[in-house]
Structure 1
Amino acid sequence: MFDKSHCKECTTVACMMKCQWINFESIDAAKKEVAKLINEDEDCRILKDCMLCFSCDEYCPYNSHPFDIINELQEKYNSQNILPAITQNAIDGYGAKREFIPRPIDPEKPILDKCAFPKMNVKEMQGPMFDDLQSVGGLHYFCQLIYQHLAKPSIIKERVPLILENFIKTGVNKDTEVICWHDECYGLYTSYCQRNNLEVPFKPVHIFEYVYNYLKDHESDIKKLNLKAAYQRNCSNRYVPKTDEILDSICELIGIERVARKFDRENGICCAAPFAPRGRKNLVRKTQNDNVQDMVDHGAEVCIFNCPMCKDTLERKVTAKGIKSYFISDLARLALGEKLEY
């Protein structure tokens, strides 16, 4: 949860001054708005102007999680003016429909958590890298952080304990390695749960870590790809920024040059998919066009995604510019000589 204890002593107000969406005339102006946040003032402009990209959580040098209080107050005051029908659609659409029937697993072996994407990413989860892994997936395991994009954190708090219980019912223990297919799962289990005093009943493993270790185990089979890549850093990676270093290590192993473009690393930018449901259609095209053009301007031949929704949102625009879209696991599989039929 949000920790306000350092806000008074903070001299940079980095959480707001680095924001890509809200401009402040001065540090003092930003401080005044943060003070309104702390006082839960409905008139705080941050609540209305925020684009819900989580970046402030990474920008804060004290690890105080300002986005938590922002998101909670946005829901409390309906600051984003999201139509109830849109919110309800998302709540119903990602809610588990059937009774949960656990499929027993071997807790001594790693598990691939496919989250809500076992069908959407079925081809990306195949091949020697994944075939020997047991797996779980579907809406009973859906990580729920999407509701932060809709200013509805109460749904996350309601559903996450049930998801953790579902894992327990499958037979996991504290040492069971659960490989998270994307950042929202890993961010949930290594950041959100800890911030909300929820005990995670297994050992979360980031997909980058799994891919890197697999590559090291098969290093003699690697053929360098010699490609330039742009990375689409997704919003949930703000909760787990250290994983970025693992991506760099993977790129080095398989011969990928991660281009030093404007919208990467700390300045990564949202894919803009969540903007339209919140009435910000005017920002969608500009944000996406600027992002893709940045890839083109820096000579990217491929675009690396780690968020299935980012990939689904931007793939057509990226492809139209002659840039191929991949998950990092796809590129690792190519480097190991696998032929991808997609």
Structure 2
Amino acid sequence: MTKLPTAFTALDLSGFEFDKTIRYNSVNREMVDQACAVLQKNRIRIVVRSVQAALKEIYGIGGSSENICRFLEEWRKDNTQALKASKGEKNLVAEILNDDQTLDETEIPEEVHQLSKQLGIILYTFGHQKADTTISGDRIKTLAEENDLLKSQLKDFPQFQMQLDFYKAEYERQRKELQEAYLSINKQQLADSETFRLQLETVQNERNDLVLKNNEFAKQLTELAEVQTREQERQGEIAKLNGALEAREREVIVMREQVQALQGEFGQKLVIESQLTTSQEQVRQANETITKLQAQLQEKSTSELQVDVDIDGLNAEIRELMDDRDLLKLRVEELESQVAKKSRKPVAA
């Protein structure tokens, strides 16, 4: 008989009544009984995972594996009497109730299959003999030989039975080990999930700290950018001031050159004014000399020839002095013109 499936996509809940408005927080025995009844109706093997899936489908909660195992064991004990009473459905009920203890056909040794087949042949042969009494001697001899062969084979049946019991015990042991390993894995997964949760919280806290530090660094970078902008503006102003200062320095150099030129011209002016003063003094002296000579000339107008000779000399001297005086006047006028030009010359800003 083939094994029933343990997985399903949907359950047929017709004939069962469930209150869908109730929200369940835990699993009890009554809920497990209902889930097993639904699985029996849908011809699903009753194992822990199928019961959990049925509970989740019906009540919206699967329950822990430990509680489901305990409730399922109680349910199997309570339904043992029903299993014995329903002989016609023994294979189906045994498949559903004791699925973990039912061996698959491939797990039974080939010798047991052959022995079962030969037992069937013997039973059929005996039945045929009862129905047909006209059996020949050769037929009886053949049957006797087959009977002896079957008896010799039946001698090995206890050994096969021991092997079968051994396989069943080994299967039960491995089933319990797998169940314990499954529970241990669940506990380990719970512990690992708690460790992972703590690690996740630690990582999230570190991430929050990094976000705060990043925000602070971003604020500092913004302030630094503003400082750099102000510094660039100040550098621009300094460059402008340096340019203006250099221009002013060039103007100062030009003004110094102009001052030096003016100082040179002023020195020349002083020299010219000194020369002018000297020339004016010479003109004044020449005028005085001419005046004196003219006076002397008038006083001696009645003198002798010798005196006349002196008068001519005086006249010549007077004319010479007058010529010098005229030259000095021209020189004075020229110097006065130069002084006037230098006085009117504008000073560059």
What is the TM-score of this pair, normalised by structure 1? 0.20
Q: Which has the higher strand share?
A: 1
State which structure, 1 or 2, has the greater radius of gyration over its C-alpha atoms.
Answer: 2
What is the TM-score of this pair, normalised by structure 2? 0.20
Q: Which has the higher helix share?
A: 2
